[in-house]
A and B are shown apart, each in its own frame.
Chain A
C-alpha cells in the first residue's frame, strides 16, 4: 500500500512543511524524511507499481528495477547527509528547496514514462534555481537567472523531443531509445539533447561552473549531486550504447580538467571537476557494454558521495573563513584537521586512489573500453584520470590546506557539519575496501575484481607520475610571473608557455566574439523595442481609420484568394 506513494513526493511534501516548523522540530523532520524515503524506496518491487492515464497516454509514475533503486538510494543518502550538514543553515527557503529538489530527482529515478520524467525534470529545474537564489547575493541572483534560462531551454527541447517521440512511436514508455537514435528519429535526438544539457555537455557546459559556486556553502553540496546525476541516470536508461556519447564524455572529461587547472576559486575548481567526472560516466554509457554501464552507474554512486564530501570540506572552509580563492587560503591543516583529513579522503577518492570508492568504480569504465578494443578511448580515459589527480586530487587540498601559510586559524566547523563529513569520508573508504555491497546493487551481474596486482600497480604509477608532474609544475600552477632563462626553460617554461599563449590568444578572441554577439543582440533588442515597445508601431493606439484600412485590405486579399 505504502509503495503506491512515489517516494520522491515524501521529500517534496516535506520540503513544503519545513518552513512551517521551528527548530528543533524542523531539524528532526529533516533527518526523519530521508530515512522514511529510503525505507519506501526499498519497498518498491520490480516492474510498474502505479499507472494511470493522462491525455490519451499511459503514465507510470512508479516503476522499480535495480537501476532505479541504485540511483534513488544514493539520492536519499545524499539528502540525508545534506540534511545533517545543513542543520545549522538558517535560510529555511534553501532547505525547503533542497528537499523538493532531492524529491524530484528521486521522482525521475522511478519514472516509468517520459511524461513523468518531464514533470519531475521541470520541478527539479525550478527547485535547484531556488537553491542557487537562496544564497541571497546579487551574483547568485544573476547566476541563478542564467541557470534557469538554460534549464528552461533544455526543458523545451526535451518536451519537443517527447512530443515528437510519442508521435513517432505512439508509446510514452521510458525505455532505451538507442535504436530510434540510429535511424535518426528526430524525437530521440531532441530528447538526447535535452538530457545532455542537464549533464553539462558541450556546448552548454558553462552553466554549471557559473551557477553552482554562487550557491551558499550548503547549497552547492546538494546541487553537485542531483541535476547532473539525474541526467546520467536518464542517459543510462534511455541511451545505453549510443556511440556519440563516448566522444561527448571524453570531451567533457578534458574540458573539466583544463578549466579546473586554470581556476583560482576552490569551489569553481570542484564545479569544473563535476563536468569532468560526469564525462567519465557519459563515456561509459556510450561504450554500452554491461561492464561499462555498471561502471557508469557505480561511478555515479561513488561520485555523488566523494564530490559532496569535497564540497562539504570546501563549504566548511568558506563558512569558517568567508574566503573562496586559493590565493587567499592555505595552511588551514593546522587549525581545521577534520576538514582537512576529510577533504583529502575525498580528493583521493576522486583520483581513484586504491582503497577508496573512486578506484572500484572508475576502473570498471576503463575496463569496459579495454574489453571493447576502444584503444583511443582507453588512452584518453587513462590520461583524463591522471588529469583528475592533478586538478582535484592535489590542487584543491594543496592550495587550501597546505601551500603557504595564509595566517588564517579558523577552527573546525560546527559538530553537525563535521558529522556529515566524517560519515561520507567513512563511506568513501568503506566502499573502496568492500566493494561487494555496491556491486550487488548494480543493474547487471558484476564479474570484475578491482584489486588485482596489475590494476593497483598501474594506478599507483599513474598517480605517482601525475603527482610528480604537479609538484614540478607548481610554480606555473601558482602562476607567478618571474622569468628565469636557463636550459630548463625548455621543459619548465615552454610547454606551459604554449598553453598560456594559447590562453592569451583564445581568451581575448573568445571575449571579442562574445562582445560582438552581445552588441548584435542589444541592437536586435533595440530594433524590437522600436517596433514593439510602448510607442512602437505595433503597440501604439492607432486611429480607427487604420483598422478600417486593414479591413479593406484583408477583404481584398481574401476575395482575390477565393476567386483564384
Chain B
C-alpha cells in the first residue's frame, strides 16, 4: 500500500508539512518538525531509487486517472537519481541549519523560513517526479517563488535586490518554459511528457521549433548557463548560508534535469541534436562558461561569490557533457550533477561555518584560519580538491567521463579545454588555501573556535560522501549511465 503510493508521498508530505510549520511557530519545534519531514522524504527517495533500479520505470496515476488524461508521476532512472540528490541534500542541510539558521535569521521569521524551505523542497521534488509538462511548470513556480523568499531573508540588505533580480529573471525563464509548453500543447493536444514525444509530427513544424527555442532559452536562464547567469552570483552571495548550500546543490541541477527531459524525452535525441544544431550552440556556450566564470572566480575577494562563479563554470561542464549527446557525455553530465551537488553543498556549508565564526567570508579575513578552524578548513580543502578533479575524489570521476566522451567523438581540443579549465579551478581554490594556511591571521583578529558539531557533521557527511564516491563509483556512475541510456532511447 505504502510502497505503491511512494511517488505521491514524496511530494505531498513536504507540501502538507509546510503550512503546519506556520501553526507550530516555535523556532526549535519547527526546526525539529522540518528536519523530521526532510529525513522522511530522504528515506522515501532511497526506497524509490531502489525500486526503480530493481523493476524499471515507475508510473503513478494520480487519482487513478489513467495517463495521458490524468496527471502521471513517472520515475525513470534519471528522475530517481535526481530526487535522491534533492532529498539527500535537503536532509543534510537541515542538520546544518540547526546552528546556522538561528544565527542568521531573526527569530520571529524562522518559522516562515522553514515553511518556505519545505515548499521549495516540494517544488524541486515535484519537478523531478512529475510526468506532466504543465504540472512541471507549476512545481517550477512553487520552487522558484519560495527560493526568492529564502534568498531575500539573507542578513545583508543587498539580499533584497538580489532576490528581486532573481525574481524577474526567474519569472522570465518560467514564462518562456510555459510558452514552450503551450506551443507544444497547440501542436499535439497533450501535456503528458511521454505522450508528447510520440505525438510530435515529423519533420517538426514551425510551431514546435519555436516551442523548442523558448524551452531552450527558458531552461538556460533557470540553470544559469552563460551568458544568462547574471542572477546567480548575487543570489548565492547574499542568501543565508543554509539556503546557498541547499540551492547551489539542488536548484540549478533540477533545471538541468528539465533541460534533459525536454531535449531527450520530448523532442528526442535525433530531433534535438541531429536535425537541429542545439549541440553546436550549447558546446561553445558551455566552454565559454567554464573559462569566463572560472577566470572571474579567480579574482573574487568574497569566497562565497568566488564559489558562486565556480558554480556557473561547473554548470558549463554539465552542459558540455550533455551537448555531446552520447552515453559517456550524458553520463558525465548527470554524474556531475550528483558530484557537484556534494562538492558545492559541502563547500558552502564549510563557508557557512566560517561565516558563523568570523561574520564574513572575505578572503583576507580568512587568513590563518587553517589553525583556528582545522576541521572546517580541512573540509574546504577536500571539497576544493574534488572541485579541481583530483583522483580519488568524485570530481575526478566526472572529469574522467567528460574527457572520455570528448575523445570518443575525436574532439581533442575540447578534452584539452576541460583539463585546462580544471587548472583555473586549481588557482581559485588555491587562493583560499593559501590564505587559510600560509598567511598569518590579520593583526588584532579575534581568536575563533571550531564550528559547532552539527554544522561540522553535515559538512563532513557531504565531503565524506564526495570522497567515498570518488573511490567506489558503482552507484553514481551505474545509475547515471542507465539514466543516460534511457534518455538516449537505448533502453526502455
**Segment among A20-28, A114-122, A233-241 that sits at the interface with chain B:** A114-122
Tell me the smallest distance from the CB of B259 to a CB of chain A, in Å: 13
**With contacts A160-B419, A164-B407, A559-B210 known, is A538 near B217, CB below 8 A?**
no
Q: Does A562 contact B (CB under 8 A)?
A: yes
Interface string of A540-563 (1 = CB under 8 A from B): 011010111011001101110111
**With contacts A539-B296, A551-B217, A559-B213 known, is A167 near B404, CB below 8 A?**
yes
Q: Does A252 contact B (CB under 8 A)?
A: no
Contacts of B299 in A (CB 8 A): 529, 532-534, 536, 539
Cα A536 to Cα B299 with chains together (Å): 10
Q: Does B451 contact A (CB under 8 A)?
A: no
Cα A534 to Cα B426 with chains together (Å): 19
Pair B213/A555 contact, Cβ less than 8 Å: yes
Q: Does B212 contact A (CB under 8 A)?
A: yes
Q: Does B300 contact A (CB under 8 A)?
A: yes
Tell me the smallest distance from the CB of B336 to a CB of chain A, in Å: 14
Q: Does A459 contact B (CB under 8 A)?
A: no
Residue of A nearest to B167 (CB): A544
Interface string of A511-550 (1 = CB under 8 A from B): 0000000000000000011011110101101101011101
Interface size on A, residues (CB 8 A): 41
Residue of A nearest to B291 (CB): A532
A-B contact count (CB 8 A): 112
**With contacts A55-B477, A551-B221 known, is A163 near B400, CB below 8 A?**
yes
Pair B403/A561 contact, Cβ less than 8 Å: no
Main secondary structure of the interface of A (DSSP, over half): helix
Q: Which of B172, B209, B221, B300 contacts A562 (CB 8 A)?
A: B209
**With contacts A115-B391, A167-B404 known, is A156 near B423, CB below 8 A?**
yes
Residue of B nearest to A539 (CB): B296
Pair A554/B220 contact, Cβ less than 8 Å: yes
**Segment among B61-69, B82-90, B138-146, B226-234 that sits at the interface with chain A:** B226-234
Contacts of B390 in A (CB 8 A): 122
Within 8 A of A (CB), among B405-435: 407-408, 412, 415-416, 419, 422-423, 426
Which of B276, B278, B391, B423 counts the most chain A CB atoms within 10 A?
B391
Pair A55/B397 contact, Cβ less than 8 Å: yes
Tell me the smallest distance from the CB of B389 to a CB of chain A, in Å: 9
Q: Does A141 contact B (CB under 8 A)?
A: yes
**With contacts A156-B419, A156-B423 known, is A550 near B227, CB below 8 A?**
yes
Residue of A nearest to B396 (CB): A159
Cα A532 to Cα B306 with chains together (Å): 12
Contacts of A563 in B (CB 8 A): 206, 209
**With contacts A558-B281, A559-B213, A562-B209 known, is A167 near B407, CB below 8 A?**
yes
Residue of B nearest to A164 (CB): B407
Report the 9 A-B pairs with minimum CB-CB distance, sorted nearest first: A558-B213, A532-B295, A532-B296, A562-B209, A533-B299, A539-B296, A555-B217, A547-B230, A167-B407
Q: B interface vs A, CB < 8 Å? A: 165, 168-169, 172, 176, 206, 209-210, 212-214, 216-217, 220-221, 227-228, 230-231, 233-234, 276-278, 280-281, 292, 295-296, 298-301, 309, 390-392, 397, 400, 403-404, 407-408, 412, 415-416, 419, 422-423, 426, 438, 471, 473, 477
Q: A interface vs B, CB < 8 Å? A: 54-55, 115, 118-119, 122, 141, 152-153, 156, 159-160, 163-164, 167, 186, 528-529, 531-534, 536, 538-539, 541-542, 544, 546-548, 550-551, 554-555, 557-559, 561-563
Give me 9 other A-B pairs in contact (C-beta within 8 A), A163-B400, A550-B227 excluded: A55-B397, A160-B415, A163-B403, A532-B298, A538-B296, A547-B169, A551-B176, A551-B228, A554-B228
